[in-house]
Amino acid sequence: MASESGTDLYLLIFSGTALMLLLAFVIILFVYLYQKKLYQQQSTLQLIENNTQNALLTASLEAEERERERIAMNLHDEIGASLNLLKLNLNQIALENKNSRAGKEISEQINFLDSTIDLLRNINKELLPPSLGNMGIIIALQELFEVIKQKQSIRFDLKTENFQQDKICPKMELHLFRIIKELTNNAIKHSLSKHIRVKFIMVQQSLMVNFNYDGSGLAQHEFEKKLLQSGGQGLKNIQNRINFLNGSIFFNKIDDQNSLIRIEIPLNEKDN
């Protein structure tokens, strides 16, 4: 009788153990397969979200650039041409009345018109740097730095290494130009920088830009924090443009007197 109850207990333990093990295996299998499925779904959703965001970003940046181009063209072709024609006519009138008081006044107004035409030209350059399309990003940046140097005593060093202009597509050139312009403005405005060094390096399939400046800049975590805050539109634009170019940007605060910003952009053959 005792042996029979022992066998029953033995069978109970054995079947209980088998059942528990089966349950454990089923749970492990379920968790593994379900986690895999959920993760794939999440990755797909993330991909769709990223693609949508990129498409929106691309559309907004392209619309912005198209609008800038349109305004620049209108200013140049309509207002610029009209002002030049007005200047020619006034010159003609001034020549015809050069000895009269009215002629002298017209000459003064021509000087004022000249400064207006210069102002319009500068606005045009701001909207769409003419040398960017014709001469390339390096010349465009040199011109930009020259303009800044005329107003403020800042030293610029622009260097290149293995740089090939033909490997950069016009879109990349334009966005890169705007990024460097924004970084330059920030360095002058916030870090009171007096010496800015920009170096373009082409390494295999990517373009690296090192933007060094004296003065206390941002560290990477500060940059990321500012992106999440409500202000700092300039930095957000930089990040958007970097995302548009599928590149990366890294802010390095070397010390209180030196900062480095490193940009890396992949060079895509089909863009050229």
Partner 1 sequence: MGIYLFLVCIVEITLSATSFLNIKNHHIISIYTYLEPLLIVNIYRKEFANRTKTLFLLLFAVIWILLVAVKEFHPENLSLKITQHFALSCSIVTCALHWFYLRLKLLDRPKLLTEGFFYINIAFLIYFSGTIFIFMFSTLILKSTSQTQNLWLINSILNIILNILLAKGIWLQKAEQTSTF
Does position 14 interact with partner 1 (CB under 8 A)? The reply is yes
Mapped to the 3 state alphabet, what secondary structure does the chain carry?
CHHHHHHHHHHHHHHHHHHHHHHHHHHHHHHHHHHHHHHHHHHHHHHHHHHHHHHHHHHHHHHHHHHHHHHHHHHHHHHHHHHHHHHHHHHHHHHHCCCCHHHHHHHHHHHHHHHHHHHHHHHHHHHCCHHHHHCCHHHHHHHHHHHHHHHCCCEEEEEEECCCHHHCCHHHHHHHHHHHHHHHHHHHHHCCCCEEEEEEEEECCEEEEEEEEECCCCCHHHHHHHHHCCCCHHHHHHHHHHHHCCCEEEEEECCCCEEEEEEEEECCHHHC
Does position 13 interact with partner 1 (CB under 8 A)? The reply is yes
Does position 6 interact with partner 1 (CB under 8 A)? The reply is yes
Does position 16 interact with partner 1 (CB under 8 A)? The reply is yes
Binding mask 18-57 for partner 1 (x = CB under 8 A): --xx-xxx-xx--xx-xxx-xx--x---------------
Does position 9 interact with partner 1 (CB under 8 A)? The reply is yes
Strand partners, 251: 261
Min dist CB 24 to partner 1, Å, is: 5
Between 28 and 88, whose beta carbon lies closer to partner 1?
A: 28
# chain residues binding partner 1, by CB under 8 A: 25
Between 44 and 205, whose beta carbon lies closer to partner 1?
A: 44
Does position 230 interact with partner 1 (CB under 8 A)? The reply is no
Between 50 and 185, whose beta carbon lies closer to partner 1?
A: 50
Min dist CB 27 to partner 1, Å, is: 7
Between 28 and 119, whose beta carbon lies closer to partner 1?
A: 28
Sole window of 7-15, 72-80, 108-116, 263-271 interacting with partner 1 (rule: CB under 8 A): 7-15
Q: Which residues bind partner 1 (CB under 8 A)?
A: 3, 6-7, 9-10, 12-14, 16-17, 20-21, 23-25, 27-28, 31-32, 34-36, 38-39, 42
